[in-house]
Amino acid sequence: MFVLGLTGSIGMGKTTAAAMFRYQKIPVYDADASVHELLAPGGAAVPAVADLFPGVLRDGGVDRQALGKIVFDDPQALGGLESILHPLVRKRQTAFLRFSAGQRRQLVVLDIPLLFETGGDSACDAVAVVSAPFYLQSLRVLARSGMTAEKFFGIMARQMSDLEKRRRADFVIPTGLGRRKSLLSIREIIKVTTR
């Protein structure tokens, strides 16, 4: 089974690329969705996160906005949160890979925003990076509800640069030239990785 890592900086179109892989019948593990489930009411991370960050518990789940305000500018707090979430996310990823192997899948995708930053690329046979010009990236991100330029640049500062991600990538999926170009690129990656 070929394990393809899918990553890219904020606003580069990774969610759209992941949906295109799913449309091509390729199983995709979504690390962000796992985090949301872990923090939702009844989620496995809720007790530990609520214990570490008093006041973030709302209706049996973690208020992600309240949590975000606490960890955004505090590397130590962010590290504490990651020490809770990362092992749980990896456990779910392992279960996904086992299940997919049991189904004899030729190719699976691990959709992980901070793939290189967390060393997750070591679990992959190859990595595809989604990329678009900076002006388009900033337009996409700043159009999001509640996003500010300060917040955007704060997020960018914690992520590896697009240039470095592209340098490390085995494949680059362009997302600034229209969906058709992105889809053709994804189809080519599927063809190459399932030979």
DSSP 8-state class, residue 185:
H
CA distance 183 to 189: 10
**Mean per-residue pLDDT over the chain, rounded:** 92
| Residues 115 and 128 sit within 8 Å (Cβ to Cβ) | no
pLDDT digits (tens, 9 = 90+) for 39-74: 999 999 999 999 999 988 888 899 888 888 888 778
pLDDT tier at 172, thresholds 50, 70, 90: very high
pLDDT above 70 as % of the chain: 100
In this predicted model, which residue has the larger pLDDT, 72 or 170? Answer: 170
In this predicted model, which residue has the larger pLDDT, 144 or 172? Answer: 172
Q: What is the mean pLDDT of residues 137-146?
A: 88
Q: pTM for this structure? A: 0.89
CA distance 29 to 179: 21
pLDDT value at residue 151: 84
Q: Of 107, 83, 126, 97, nearest to 21 (Cα)?
A: 107
pLDDT tier at 169, thresholds 50, 70, 90: very high
